[in-house]
Amino acid sequence: MSDPSTLKEWIVFSASALEGIVSEPRHEAELLLRAFYNKDALWLIRNEMTVLDDTQRLRQWITRRAANEPLEYISQRVSFYSQEFFIQQGALIPRPETELLIEKTLLHVNPDEHLCIVEVGIGSGIISIILAQHLPHAHFIGVDISTEALRIAQRNIECFGLKERIELRHGNLLSSVNEPIDVVVSNPPYIADTAVLESNLSYEPDTALFGGSQGDEIIKALLDEVLQRRVALLTCEMGYDQKAAIEAYLSDFKIQSLEFYKDYSGFDRGFIMKVTDEQTQ
């Protein structure tokens, strides 16, 4: 094939480069072209015969995508909760099911209260940013063990004008937070260390994915700290097969309530734990 020139030819060229790498090469090629020029789907239809420019950089994007690098890392943009965020290797690409964690959290907090909300494992910052938009009186502390993730969160927090409301701290779980906490929200790493993952996941940080030999060790360590500090509310994402283990773990403790929720595919995906003021067992 001669060098592609028009948009239509570039789509065909990109799709053939992605053949055998992604499940829908043509669709992925269109997404790549749209992301590269920051255009919508209509632009693709209207501009089929347009001769493209900046194609040297476009070739680099295609090469990276053909190595199965996620488009979000290449474009440095990710859409979540109908908003656009900055993303880069070093922080997890937000997943659609995490929107449910936000919805569940919002159902259990009072927007009029001046709460101290701690997010454990803030990553790119998406959860705290959306919650801060909905909870105007709450103060947030975003903790992460990864300094790279914290840099990415900081960029998003500044971009959304929330620097005064979301404080960032480097640390393990709640160790860097000494003040009283009203709510902990977390999407912790919960995949078992030995799990064999799809190749595109290799671009995401191990610290964001792997939660210990069973996968639920970080969740259990977080439960310990939340119970010890008697934080009134914990909302937490988890693996689809971790409900029984979490229930069994919590059966040794005195809690007020424990409710699990499912994701869009019907898999168990998270829980909401309420803790009374009384001493845990």
Ligand X SMILES: C[S@@+](CC[C@H](N)C(=O)[O-])C[C@H]1O[C@@H](n2cnc3c(N)ncnc32)[C@H](O)[C@@H]1O
CB of 75 to ligand X, least distance (A): 17
User: Tokens 């975003």 label which residue?
Assistant: 142
Give yes or no for residue 184 binding ligand X (CB under 6 A).
no
Of the candidate residues 126, 157, 219, 275, the single one contacting ligand X (CB under 6 A): 126
Q: How many Å apart are CA 197 and CA 53, to the nearest integer?
A: 37
Amino acid at the residue 41: A
Q: Which of residues 241-280 bind ligand X (CB under 6 A)?
A: none
**Positive/negative CA dihedral, 94, 98, 103, 104:** negative
- From the list 29-37, 107-115, 117-125, 263-271, the region that binds ligand X by CB under 6 A is 117-125
Amino acid at the residue 92: L
Q: How many Å apart are CA 239 and CA 9, to the nearest integer?
A: 42
- From the list 25-33, 49-57, 186-194, 257-265, the region that binds ligand X by CB under 6 A is 186-194
- From the list 8-16, 108-116, 183-191, 225-233, the region that binds ligand X by CB under 6 A is 183-191
Amino acid at the residue 190: Y
Question: Coil, strand or helix: which one is 184?
Answer: strand
**Which tokens sit at 146?**
């990864």
Nearer to ligand X, 15 or 122 (CB): 122
Of the candidate residues 105, 207, 235, 242, the single one contacting ligand X (CB under 6 A): 207
Site string for ligand X, 8-47 (x = CB under 6 A): ----------------------------------------
Site string for ligand X, 228-247 (x = CB under 6 A): --------------------
Site string for ligand X, 95-114 (x = CB under 6 A): ---x----------------
28 contacts 65 by C-beta, under 8 angstroms: yes
Nearer to ligand X, 172 or 257 (CB): 172
Amino acid at the residue 186: S
Q: How many Å apart are CA 252 and CA 84, to the nearest integer?
A: 42
CB of 210 to ligand X, least distance (A): 9
**Positive/negative CA dihedral, 32, 36, 38, 39:** negative
CA 93 remoteness from chain centre: 5
Site string for ligand X, 156-175 (x = CB under 6 A): ----------------xx--
13 membership: H or E segment, kind and range = helix 7-18
CB of 128 to ligand X, least distance (A): 8
- Helix, strand, coil % (nearest 5) of the chain? 40, 20, 45
Give yes or no for residue 227 binding ligand X (CB under 6 A).
no
249 contacts 220 by C-beta, under 8 angstroms: yes
Give yes or no for residue 192 binding ligand X (CB under 6 A).
no
Query: Which residues of this chain interact with ligand X, rule CB under 6 A?
Result: 91-92, 94, 98, 120-124, 126-127, 143-146, 149, 172-173, 187-189, 207-208, 218
